[in-house]
A = this chain, B = another copy of it.
Amino acid sequence: MNGAESLVRTLVAGGVDVCFANPGTSEMHFVAALDRVEGMRCVLALFEGVVSGAADGYARMADKPAATLLHLGPGLGNALANLHNARKAAVPIVNIVGEHATYHIANDPPLGADIEGIARPVSAWVRTSRDAKSVAADGAAAIAAARKSPGQVATLILPADTAWNEGSGIAALPPIAAPAKIDDAAVHAAATALRAGGKDAMLMLTGIALREHGLMLAGKIAAATGCRILAQWSNVRMQRGAGRVPIFRLPYPIDAALNTLKDVKHLVLCGARAPIAFFAYPDKPSILTPEGCDIVTLARLEQDLIDALERLVDALGARNAQARVQQLDIPAAPSGAITLDKIAAALGAHLPEGAVVIDESVTSGRGFAPLTAGCRPHDWITNMGGSIGFSMPVAVGAAIAAPERKVVCLSGDGSALYTPQALWTMARENLDVTVVIFANRSYAILKGELAQVGAGNPGRKAMDMLTLDRPDPDWRHIAKGLGVEATRATDMDQFSAQFAAAMTTRGPRLIELLM
């Protein structure tokens, strides 16, 4: 059994049974091993940003890592933006990068590059396999590194001769530690802050705390103490809708974020980071909490957030408190001219139970939360690294991980144009993904940002850098060219009808909503 096959078998034995791939020559033995090893599903993407985003989306739904397979330094480079997003989200990924044969590296061939150097800024763990006998053990170590709580990008670099020489067979997975429990002092400090704060206190959550059970615990705490609960602006996956404790996200625009937090005197963090500005703006603060706000960390993201909430519930005597639970409240399907609220209502009206929403509607989607809060229970995934071109690749991975659920990908047109190749993988794998493109033909977010940073009124040349018209991208054709059926909606009646149809039909499709 060669090194490549040893690695593939080790991955499968270690629970990593999906590989998103864009391979090249140096990865051919890995690819060839796929035919000899049962249990590894390998999904081809036409561009590595789709590979890394899909691995992110997969892990968010499966709660375990997928593998990637990337070709040398440039392939890793193409994957970098979505690996950045995964790193910021603390999502587990076993990131496998081919390398030239060990003895060929010194020749500095055309594709030679400092792969470890490229990997380090996006990886918590980086290792280059030394020889074929080490590959399986390195693979097992990569799985363990990826699964270290809360999750990490682990990059394993595989010189070609470590793949083709005789390997060691399957390596056993090292023990993977459960998330650490918080200490009693943290529980006590959080309980004290929330009791003291009452309605001026806030419990801010992210990570696993935003799943149904964590939210129920947070709801009890809110009921018992009067505190507000809030999610980070972006989160790995948040469970919402009828039957769950409702929670909103900190807004993105800095003034709205400051306003949301302005009365908070005690902030208790459960996995969340103390809120900071996405960007710095001249004359605006970088720290979003008001001066003098008492910030208490109940639990860090890598700790056991559910245990922390359970113990906080008990410390507050809130076990029997009645959390506010969202009632089913489905908006009427809207008609007429397009508005952002009506889009939210259309989503809320038609999202099926168990839908997974990947939200990269950078500007258009900022107001979606209220009108979708009462719809059928669903999951909401957002980008924690801010690098666009995120949602369609993540939708690919989410759909592979959760084939029985409808995946809805909401994307601005500017964002979607970074990684349109994801559509092809949706078509090839017949994934149950509906992509909604908000086609405003501009980097709309930048028009606001230009003002926020005080760069003045843009002239023609500056505006040219913010607009995507001339020519208008036509998503009906882009999608068709990549194998996905697409329609265009120019009013709410069309959008509602097309979206409703998509929600009740399996398979990939795209709706371009002209804004």
A residues near B, CB below 8 A?
21, 23-26, 28-29, 31-32, 34-36, 42, 44, 46-47, 49, 72-75, 77-78, 80-81, 83-85, 88, 100-101, 103-104, 107-111, 113-114, 117-118, 120-122, 160-161, 164, 234, 276-280, 282, 286-287, 383-387, 389, 414, 417-418, 420-421, 424, 427-428, 443, 445-446, 449-450, 452-456, 458-462, 464-466, 468, 470-483
Assess whether A385 is in contact with B280, with CB atoms less than 8 Å apart: no
Assess whether A464 is in contact with B42, with CB atoms less than 8 Å apart: yes
Q: What 6 A-B pairs have minimum CB-CB distances, sorted nearest first?
A: A471-B483, A77-B80, A35-B459, A477-B481, A74-B387, A478-B481
Given the complex, which residues of B lie within 8 Å of A160, measured CB to CB? Answer: 279-280, 453
The CA-CA distance from A443 to B470 in the complex, in Å, is: 33
The CA-CA distance from A21 to B373 in the complex, in Å, is: 39
Assess whether A113 is in contact with B101, with CB atoms less than 8 Å apart: no
Assess whether A475 is in contact with B481, with CB atoms less than 8 Å apart: yes
The CA-CA distance from A454 to B163 in the complex, in Å, is: 11
Assess whether B35 is in contact with A460, with CB atoms less than 8 Å apart: yes
The CA-CA distance from A80 to B424 in the complex, in Å, is: 23
Assess whether B279 is in contact with A26, with CB atoms less than 8 Å apart: yes
Assess whether A386 is in contact with B453, with CB atoms less than 8 Å apart: no
Assess whether B387 is in contact with A29, with CB atoms less than 8 Å apart: no
The CA-CA distance from A443 to B72 in the complex, in Å, is: 16
One of B46, B104, B387, B445 near A417 (C-beta < 8 A): B46
On whether A28 and B453 interact (CB within 8 A), knowing A103-B280, A286-B103, A482-B478, the answer reads yes
One of B73, B85, B483 near A473 (C-beta < 8 A): B483
What's the nearest-Cβ distance from chain B to residue A166, in Å?
A: 12
Given the complex, which residues of B lie within 8 Å of A479, measured CB to CB? Answer: 481
The CA-CA distance from A67 to B450 in the complex, in Å, is: 21
Assess whether B121 is in contact with A113, with CB atoms less than 8 Å apart: yes
What's the nearest-Cβ distance from chain B to residue A100, in Å?
A: 6
What's the nearest-Cβ distance from chain B to residue A29, in Å?
A: 5
Assess whether A32 is in contact with B462, with CB atoms less than 8 Å apart: yes
On whether A418 and B280 interact (CB within 8 A), knowing A73-B84, A454-B164, A481-B474, the answer reads no
Assess whether A35 is in contact with B280, with CB atoms less than 8 Å apart: no
The CA-CA distance from A42 to B462 in the complex, in Å, is: 9
Assess whether A387 is in contact with B111, with CB atoms less than 8 Å apart: yes
Residue of B whose beta carbon sits closest to that of A69? B465
Residue of B whose beta carbon sits closest to that of A46? B417
Assess whether A109 is in contact with B279, with CB atoms less than 8 Å apart: yes
**Considering residues A110, A452, A461, which has the most beta carbons from chain B within 10 angstroms of its beta carbon?**
A110
The CA-CA distance from A103 to B283 in the complex, in Å, is: 13
What's the nearest-Cβ distance from chain B to residue A226, in Å?
A: 30
The CA-CA distance from A110 to B464 in the complex, in Å, is: 27
On whether A473 and B464 interact (CB within 8 A), knowing A385-B74, A455-B32, the answer reads no
Given the complex, which residues of B lie within 8 Å of A482, measured CB to CB? Answer: 471, 473, 478
Assess whether A450 is in contact with B32, with CB atoms less than 8 Å apart: yes
Given the complex, which residues of B lie within 8 Å of A452, measured CB to CB? Answer: 25
What's the nearest-Cβ distance from chain B to residue A33, in Å?
A: 8
Assess whether A35 is in contact with B84, with CB atoms less than 8 Å apart: no
Residue of B whose beta carbon sits closest to that of A466? B31
One of B47, B280, B480 near A100 (C-beta < 8 A): B280
On whether A31 and B462 interact (CB within 8 A), knowing A117-B117, A117-B121, A421-B417, the answer reads yes
Assess whether A276 is in contact with B73, with CB atoms less than 8 Å apart: no
The CA-CA distance from A29 to B458 in the complex, in Å, is: 10
Assess whether A449 is in contact with B418, with CB atoms less than 8 Å apart: no
Assess whether B42 is in contact with A110, with CB atoms less than 8 Å apart: no
The CA-CA distance from A468 to B108 in the complex, in Å, is: 30
Q: Supply 15 further A-B pairs (C-beta < 8 A) apart from A103-B286, A418-B421.
A: A24-B446, A31-B450, A31-B462, A32-B462, A35-B461, A46-B468, A74-B84, A78-B418, A101-B286, A104-B279, A111-B279, A117-B120, A420-B421, A474-B481, A477-B481
Given the complex, which residues of B lie within 8 Å of A77, measured CB to CB? Answer: 77, 80-81, 83-84, 122, 387
The CA-CA distance from A24 to B420 in the complex, in Å, is: 19
The CA-CA distance from A461 to B42 in the complex, in Å, is: 8
